Structure 1
Amino acid sequence: MSTRVEGSTAPGFASLADVLSASFTGRDGMGAALCVRVAGETVADLWGGTADVRDRSPWTEETTSVVFSCTKGLTSILAARLVQDGLLDYQAPVHAYWPEFAAAGKAAITVADLLAHRSGLSAPRDLLSVEDVIDWDTVTGLLAAQKPLWTPGEGHAYHALTHGWLAGEVIRLVTGKTVGRYFDELIATPLHSDAWIGLPPSERHRVAHLRAGASLTDFVARQAAARPAGKVDWSDRALTLGKAFPTELVDGEKGFNDPRIQAAEVPGAGGIASARALATIWSSTVVETDGVRLLDADTVGEAIRPQAEGNPVFGGPPPFSRWGMGFQLPSLAREYLGPASFGHDGAGGQVAFADVTHQVGFAFLTNLMEAGPDHRATSIVNELRRILRRSSRI
């Protein structure tokens, strides 16, 4: 039985609903949402499937979900806005804003290094617990004191979770506001968007329940079997922080299904939003949207200059992502619409981005987390590209 997709599309964009509907095939219990804005106008606002497989409650217009590393894109928008406002300099040393950060050989690390996964702090040397993770000062204090895992500036590795605390602490010290509060004041409230870095208790009932799909659990099992005994797997530590998260990031009520994690400010992966909110936010980085333009063209141009790409310090299978100032740039790992796209994907299949040339804001969210060759969002992006070409928008 096919999954019914609800919502609406603008004339010429109806095929996006068909591609979204096809993504449910063979995925019982999946929920998902898609929103696309072009030139500030909503051309697709769609949702369907199951928000919580435990009680079979449906994904509705009001459902929100954990967006995982799409949160890094939101945090990078905040940093770019501070640069635009003259309050932050990408080339300045981090310790100019965060004096304690200079410890343990980190005095030369710049804000650009921090944002582009070059700081050498991709994982904690200490084993962290959930209780540690929900205490902002504990994590940032540990990272400020820690010796880098490699010589900063001589390579990069994905800072899967630490990226958010590193960038977020700089933002906090520059603005005097937590990253969640600054995000709400600068972005979510002006755009009337259902998006949070630190979920209010009143919104808990709207959050979809996350599940690891078979491809993700199989991938994690293979990785664990191949891991050398007695040796720290720094890529796995970057995800688990030691004891805080399962490698899949969710397990029943653990990980990012844990209400304590959802309520905390975890700006590397803990954002919660609707697809409509994310598409609106990304649209507003490239074109005035609902009366708001977050970043000007020069700011975007500086923020998406490539900073890191190629083989990471700890290896791993290609294709590899490319990074600007915290933004994920188009690559074989995440193609987006074209060379003028920038954004961030998230664990399990989440994708959110903007495109300068085509004035697009895009978001796809799902609560069924997959790994490996997951084509759900890619198929939708490919169809959007085809539509835009056909309509001469490209």
Structure 2
Amino acid sequence: MSTSSGFCRDEFAGVRAAFDEHLDSGAELGASLCVTVDGDPVLDLWGGHADEAKTTPWGADTIVNVFSVTKTMTALCALLLVDRGELDVDERVAHYWPEFAANGKGDILIRHLLSHTSGVSGWDRPIELTDLYDTEAAAARLATQAPWWEPGSKSGYHALNYGHLIGEVVRRITGRSLGRFFADELAGPLGADFHIGTGPEHADRIATLIPPQLPEFDLATLDQDSVLIKTLTSPLLDLAATSTPAWRAAENGAVNGHGNARSVARVQSLIANGGELSGKRFLSPTTIELIFREQADGVDLAILTPLRFGIGYGLPRPQTFPHLPDGRVCWWAGYGGAMVVNDLDRRITFAYTMNRMAIGLIGSDRCDSYLKATFDAVGGAR
């Protein structure tokens, strides 16, 4: 009897076995896993518990905060506007958002925002986490700042403000907030249970996050004016705050999207499936190719990890993430371990969400085992 619920095609039995092993061992508290081929699920699994006390099973409709996997949804909103001719990745941000030109930012391009190379990876101090919930006001603050490094020269992960920057561009073009635009143009038409701004009506089915056991480290010993410190502490992400109604309701397109593996895979399979899903074309091949225009490759200034960015997504870097397949692949991960991978050559999307968070901003051993089993099943692993 399998530990997980859901379904799995026979050729992906190894993925289910890895998932069940982690559920049985307690490495996973609760999680969901979905793989699509040609836009259709071949594996849709969930299991474990939605709470630490193990009183609530993780169900078919359990959702969870997926942190930076949300950034892929925000990037997709921008790409939709590109496809419609309303946004140009090589145009200056100030063309759409004139106030953004202040303090030496007049030449920052849309692709710099989408690839974490804008020089604006966080807020000038002082700033509190609750200040981010008013997305328009928080975006206005970013518009007044000077960049922290030469725009376009290197990446510095836009950890908490990616959605504020791109969301404000979306708002200037469409008149709609990022969360509303995403719901209207992507989640709604695709029937995807993913939310940027999650209302109280969903509270009963949101899994409780279990923070990772982080080693003791005194941030005060580091250079307080470094891009790393300014990005990650201005403001500092307080995991306790992520369970509050105010956090959930805010339309923070960097870190507070709520969904499950099924809904992540549903939306993101648009990319792996060549821009078309359920008989409707959302993106042209030309727009999708923009994702693979490399914008940065090297040690990221904000998280000190070697990363390679295209436009809107991370690109494979074998030295850093050996379990990603070769070829036209784009991906991103959420704090604690959630991940989505689009493999355009094999037309596969892999999505994983969970509530027992792992140490580190990107990936986890659990996720690696699922990824390896998935691409072993299709002959695409390294």
- TM-score relative to the length of structure 2: 0.92
Q: Is the 8 A contact 1:3 1:24 kept in 2?
A: no
- Residue aligning to 1:384: 374
| 1:116-127 mapped onto 2 (5 Å cutoff) | 116-127=115-126
What is the alpha-carbon distance in structure 2 between the residues aligned to residue 53 and residue 198 of structure 1? 24
- Residue aligning to 1:231: 224
What is the alpha-carbon distance in structure 2 between the residues aligned to residue 359 and residue 17 of structure 1? 20
What is the alpha-carbon distance in structure 2 between the residues aligned to residue 330 and residue 351 of structure 1? 13
- Residue aligning to 1:57: 56
Q: Which amino acid aligns with 1:291?
A: G
Aligned length: 376
Query: Is 1:265 paired with 2:264?
Result: no
Query: Is 1:279 paired with 2:279?
Result: no
What is the alpha-carbon distance in structure 2 between the residues aligned to residue 187 and residue 93 of structure 1? 26
Q: Which amino acid aligns with 1:303?
A: I
Deviates more, 1:24-33 or 1:145-154: 24-33
- Residue aligning to 1:352: 340
Query: Is 1:364 paired with 2:352?
Result: yes
Q: Which amino acid aligns with 1:282?
A: Q
Q: Secondary structure at the match of 2:67?
A: coil
- Residue aligning to 1:198: 197
Using a 3 Å threshold, how does the CA distance of structure 1 residues 29 and 388 change in structure 2: closer, same or farther?
closer
Q: Secondary structure at the match of 2:85?
A: coil
What is the alpha-carbon distance in structure 1 between the residues aligned to residue 180 and residue 241 of structure 2? 23
Using a 3 Å threshold, how does the CA distance of structure 1 residues 266 and 314 change in structure 2: closer, same or farther?
closer
How large is the RMSD of aligned CA atoms in angstroms?
A: 2.3
Deviation track 1:175-231 (CA, whole Å, cap 9, x = no partner) reads 1111111101111011111001000221121111111122xx22xx23x36x42673
Alpha-carbon distance, 1:162 to partner: 1.1
- Residue aligning to 1:164: 163
- Residue aligning to 1:30: 29
Q: Secondary structure at the match of 1:34?
A: strand
Using a 3 Å threshold, how does the CA distance of structure 1 residues 38 and 28 change in structure 2: closer, same or farther?
closer
Using a 3 Å threshold, how does the CA distance of structure 1 residues 54 and 127 change in structure 2: closer, same or farther?
farther
Deviation track 1:288-331 (CA, whole Å, cap 9, x = no partner) reads 33334432222111122111110233572x4x121111211112
Deviates more, 1:89-98 or 1:21-30: 21-30
Using a 3 Å threshold, how does the CA distance of structure 1 residues 59 and 171 change in structure 2: closer, same or farther?
same
Q: Secondary structure at the match of 1:365?
A: strand
Using a 3 Å threshold, how does the CA distance of structure 1 residues 118 and 28 change in structure 2: closer, same or farther?
closer
Query: Is 1:323 paired with 2:323?
Result: no
Q: Secondary structure at the match of 1:75?
A: helix
What is the alpha-carbon distance in structure 2 between the residues aligned to residue 262 and residue 275 of structure 1? 18
| 1:77-96 mapped onto 2 (5 Å cutoff) | 77-96=76-95
Query: Is 1:309 paired with 2:293?
Result: no
Deviation track 1:23-48 (CA, whole Å, cap 9, x = no partner) reads 33654671110011111221100011
Alpha-carbon distance, 1:133 to partner: 1.2
What is the alpha-carbon distance in structure 2 between the residues aligned to residue 315 and residue 273 of structure 1? 25
- Residue aligning to 1:45: 44
- Residue aligning to 1:333: 320
Q: Which amino acid aligns with 2:284?
A: D
Alpha-carbon distance, 1:93 to partner: 0.5
What is the alpha-carbon distance in structure 2 between the residues aligned to residue 284 and residue 292 of structure 1? 10
Deviates more, 1:366-375 or 1:99-108: 366-375
Gaps of 5+ in 2: none
Query: Is 1:374 paired with 2:374?
Result: no
- Residue aligning to 2:288: 300
Gaps of 5+ in 1: none
| 1:237-256 mapped onto 2 (5 Å cutoff) | 237-242=230-235, 245-246=237-238, 250=239, 254-256=240-242
Q: Secondary structure at the match of 1:327?
A: coil
What is the alpha-carbon distance in structure 1 between the residues aligned to residue 300 and residue 176 of structure 2? 33
Q: Is the 8 A contact 2:136 2:164 kept in 1?
A: no
What is the alpha-carbon distance in structure 2 between the residues aligned to residue 240 and residue 293 of structure 1? 41
Alpha-carbon distance, 1:236 to partner: 4.0
Q: Secondary structure at the match of 2:201?
A: helix
Q: Secondary structure at the match of 1:125?
A: coil
Q: Is the 8 A contact 1:281 1:361 kept in 2?
A: no
What is the alpha-carbon distance in structure 1 between the residues aligned to residue 54 and residue 251 of structure 2? 28
Q: Is the 8 A contact 1:328 1:343 kept in 2?
A: yes
What is the alpha-carbon distance in structure 1 between the residues aligned to residue 155 and residue 94 of structure 2? 20
Using a 3 Å threshold, how does the CA distance of structure 1 residues 196 and 314 change in structure 2: closer, same or farther?
closer
Q: Is the 8 A contact 1:162 1:268 kept in 2?
A: yes
- Residue aligning to 2:178: 179
Q: Secondary structure at the match of 1:321?
A: strand
Alpha-carbon distance, 1:131 to partner: 3.0
What is the alpha-carbon distance in structure 1 between the residues aligned to residue 32 and residue 325 of structure 2? 19
- Residue aligning to 1:290: 278
Alpha-carbon distance, 1:383 to partner: 1.1
